[in-house]
Every structure is written in C-alpha cells, then in structure tokens.
Amino acid sequence: MSSSFTLSGDTPLAESHVDQRRVLVTGAAGNIGSYFAEHAHQKYELRLLVLESDDPSTIQSFGEVVTGDIRDLARMRELCQGIDTVVHLAADPDPSALWSNLLPLNIEGTYNTFVAAKAAGCRRVLFASSIHAVSGYPPGRQVRTSDPVNPADLYGVTKCFGEALGRYMAEQEGLSVIAIRIGWFQPHSSAQRESGIQMIDSWVSRRDLHQLIERSIDVENLQFAIFHGLSNNQFKRLDISDAQLLLGYAPLDDLMREQPELKELNLKERLAETDADVQSGIRDDL
C-alpha cells in the first residue's frame, strides 16, 4: 500500500524551535481563518489575506491585514515574500458549486498559491483539503489517508487536485506540503443542537482543528503528508491515526459527549464495559 506521507530526512520527526514563524493565511476572514488568527497571533507573526470586499474588523488586531486575490499570481508572489508557512484556506467552499465557480478559486487560485510560495522560498504550504475528497466511499467504511481519493462532487474533485498538486510540489519541486482533509468544522454550540447528530462521524471542533493546524506548521522533517481533521469522535468516518503518530495530535472533543440524547445512552461507557468483560485466551499460559 502506498504511503500518504514522505519524510524530508532520516532524522526523527520533531517540532521546530524557531522563535516565531511568519505565517500567511489566505481566506483569513473566513470561519477557520478568523478562529486561527484569534488563537495563533501570539505564537506566529501573521499576515492575513482578505478580499477588498471582506470586513477585516474582527481580525485586524491579530496581524498584518493585507488585501489581494489568489487568482492574481503576481500579487500572491508579493504576499509570500518573507513567509515561512502559507496556510491556504481560501476557496469556494460550496459542495454543490458548479465547475465554472470552482475553477477560478479552487483550481487556478490553489495553483497560484503553491507556485507563489515556491517562488518566494517559503518552507511549507498547509493546504485545506476536505472530507469531500473521499466522500464517495460508503458511510460505513472508515477511510485511511493511504486510500485512493474518491470524491462525490466536483468540489471534492478540486480538493483532490490540490492534494495531487501539493505532492508534486513537495516531491518534485522541494516545497514541503501538508494537506488536511477537514471534516465538519462547527462550534460546540452547533454540535449540541438536535441536528448536530448528523456530524456524529465527521465533526471537528474549532479547538481540535486549530491544534492540528499548529502542529502541521511546527513539525519538522515532513516533506509531504495528508492528515485527517476530525475530533476524537467515538465513530470516525476518517482515520486520524497518522496525525496522532506523526504530529502528536491529541484531539479533545467527541460529538457523543455533546449530544444530549447520546449522553443518556452512555454508549461509550457501555462499550468499554463489554470489552472489559472479555478475558484473553492466553490467560492460562501466563
């Protein structure tokens, strides 16, 4: 089976000891970008890219707010100067979007971002992929990062493109790239609603995704990797063991603990009790 990651050397994976990395965030006014900016601005020196039409008031105190468009390669080259890591979040996020809407941002804009980062000498690009890159698999099948991509919509196709472009840029052009397939990114308040049960196998809390992004920025000796961005849900559509092993990702949340009707069932405790009742067949020989 092919590996979903490659190392940049033979030394063990480790976190960086750089004092403060300079990080460019595209789509910084969005839900993920604004949360990241708020919670990462003391750790990193942030350059926050927004559109002219965006309202930057909620993030302007968290870093250098700049305007630009990922469809403009020349502008992206300027914005990547002096940057260590690009966190590429900007995209059309609509799973039902038509190709004509997806092409400028999700294809051309992604290409421009990778090329600009390479041209400017950036160390790494962190690409916001999506669970939609593998949403074509049936719900009962847990997907590993090494499984072939299997999108169920054109939006997912564009995320597959970004992953493939990222691997090319990493292994042929020398730019370190990490892709995170982000699950259903929602606050705790949404997870606690009755409708939140829809996310039982795909929820990622804001603080868990933030942790994963920071660990993906900081880790050394990874040339390319795909990681799954889910919380530690009892039931997981995507396997998160690669992120746990290679990054030390330790998600704190589980949708089962947020849903009132699931809490009453005590499923986690009851499943654990069942496992505890089983004795090993080797016990008489020990």
Domain residue spans of the chain? 5-255
Q: How far is CA 121 from its chain centroid?
A: 22
> Which stretches does DSSP call E strand in the chain?
5-7, 14-15, 22-26, 45-50, 64-67, 85-88, 124-130, 176-182, 184-185, 203-204, 219-220, 222-229
pLDDT of residue 195: 85
Query: How far apart (Å, rounded) are the C-alpha atoms in residues 231 and 93?
Result: 20
Query: How far apart (Å, rounded) are the C-alpha atoms in residues 224 and 136?
Result: 24
pLDDT of residue 284: 74
Nearest to 147 by CA among 51, 228, 76, 77: 228
Mention every residue, 6+ apart, whose C-beta is less than 8 A from residue 247: 13, 212, 215, 216, 219, 227
Pair of tokens at residue 155: 């939006």
Query: 153: burial class by Cβ within 10 Å (0-12, 13-18, 19+)?
Result: middle
Top-level CATH class of 5-255? alpha beta
β-strand pairing of 222-229 with 5-7: antiparallel
**109: DSSP letter:** I
Query: How far apart (Å, rounded) are the C-alpha atoms in residues 85 and 47?
Result: 10
pLDDT per residue of the chain (286 residues) written in tens, 0 to 9: 467 888 887 666 766 667 799 999 999 999 999 999 999 999 999 999 999 999 999 999 999 999 999 999 999 999 999 999 999 999 999 999 999 999 999 999 999 999 999 999 999 999 999 999 999 999 889 999 999 999 999 999 999 999 999 999 999 999 999 999 999 999 998 888 888 888 999 999 999 999 999 999 999 999 999 999 999 999 999 999 999 999 999 999 999 888 877 766 666 666 656 565 666 677 677 7
Which residues are tagged catalytic? 155
Taking a C-beta distance cutoff of 8 angstroms, is the pair 230, 251 a contact? yes
pLDDT of residue 262: 72
pLDDT of residue 205: 97
